[in-house]
Amino acid sequence: MTISVLIIDGPLGPPPPSVVAQGAGALCTFEGFVRPTEGAIPIEALNYQAYQPMAQTMLERLANDMKAKHGVMRIFMQHSRGRVAVGQCSFRLVVASRHRQEALAALDEFINCMKRDVPIWKNPVYILLPADR
Amino acid sequence: MDVRVLLFGPQAAAAGCETISVSLPPGATCADLRGVLGDKLPVLLPSLKESRIALNSEFAADSTRIGAGDEVALIGLVSGG
């Protein structure tokens, strides 16, 4: 399968053993992790919410578009849904191609389009300080 | 025509609900819905202009008419990744 798009409950586990496509000369991986602050306010986690099935459909469409536009060989994507604690992985995009340029371009454009259009939201879970309790 | 609108993320938090029912005249468009939502939920006014409407899981233009039975969602600024 040249395209794989998965929305997974909770944090993402380790990357799969290999998503290298036959004949690929480049494999670019981007992983996103939950930062300890949101707008400078400490958080303990992010709760990701996806509007399904629209999010899945749009991610698959985006992957197909990027594969066609940049001529890459393989796109593998995972995105979390639900609670992901600080420091845990919530997004992974792996692109395989013959040369690095097309993989890097596809990876960058995929993320930009996803952040603009795909109906997924992150809701911060703020750390309650003693004064807030 | 009664329409149930799905809300998500910060807009759902601001509105205090994940769905809202609104009444629209027959032939109402997404632009009409935007106006009704602003009247009914003023707390959403600051974010309505930059929001999109999805009908049956596809983004719709403001001029698109809403049909009875359409699944309607308000898509505010997304923040995946």
The reported pLDDT for the residue numbered A128 is 81
What does the pLDDT read at residue B57?
Answer: 97
Query: Which chain A positions have a beta carbon within 8 Å of B13's beta carbon?
Result: 123
User: Average model confidence (pLDDT) for chain A?
Assistant: 94
When pLDDT is cut at 50, 70 and 90, the band that residue B7 belongs to is: very high
Q: Is residue A20 over pLDDT 90?
A: no
Contacts A115 to B, Cβ<8 Å = 78-81
From chain B, the residues in CB contact with A54 under 8 A are 54, 57-58, 73
Q: Is A115 left (phi over 0), alpha (psi -120 to 50) or beta?
A: alpha
Dig out the tokens for A55 from the structure. Answer: 């999010």
- Angle between the N-to-C axes of helices A54-70 and A100-117, in degrees from 0 to 180, rounded to the nearest 10: 150
**pLDDT-based confidence at residue A133 (cuts at 50, 70, 90):** low
A112 touches chain B (CB under 8 A): no
**Closest residue of A to B56, CA-based?**
A54
Question: Contact at 8 Å (CB) between B53 and B33?
Answer: yes
Determine the pLDDT at residue B28: 97
| CA A110-A114-B28 angle, 5° bins | 135
A122: nearest CB among B54, B57, B79? B79
Q: B73: helix, coil or strand?
A: strand
The two tokens of residue A63 are 């992957």
Distance CA A92, CA A77 (A): 6
How far apart CA A31 and CA A34 sit, in angstroms, is: 10
Binned at pLDDT 50, 70 and 90, residue B10 comes out as very high
Residues 6+ apart with CB under 8 A from B44: B11, B14, B15, B37, B38, B51, B74
Contact B30, B53 (CB under 8 A): yes
Nearest-CA distance A73 → chain B (Å): 22
Q: Is the pLDDT of residue A132 over 70?
A: no
pTM of the model: 0.93
Q: Do the chains contact at A51 and B54, CB–CB below 8 Å?
A: yes
Minimum mean pLDDT range among A16-25, A54-63, A84-93: A16-25
With pLDDT > 70 as the criterion, what percentage of chain A qualifies?
Answer: 95
Contact B63, B75 (CB under 8 A): no
pLDDT one-digit tens code per residue, B24-76:
999 999 999 999 999 999 999 999 999 999 999 999 999 999 999 999 999 99
For β-strands A26-33 and A74-85, DSSP reports them as unpaired
Distance, in Å, from the CA atom of B54 to the CA atom of B6, rounded to the nearest integer, reads: 10
ipTM for the whole complex: 0.93
Give residue-wise pLDDT tens across range A37-78. 999 999 999 999 999 999 999 999 999 999 999 999 999 999
DSSP H/E element including A50: strand A41-50
- How large is the greatest C-alpha to C-alpha distance in chain B, in angstroms? 38
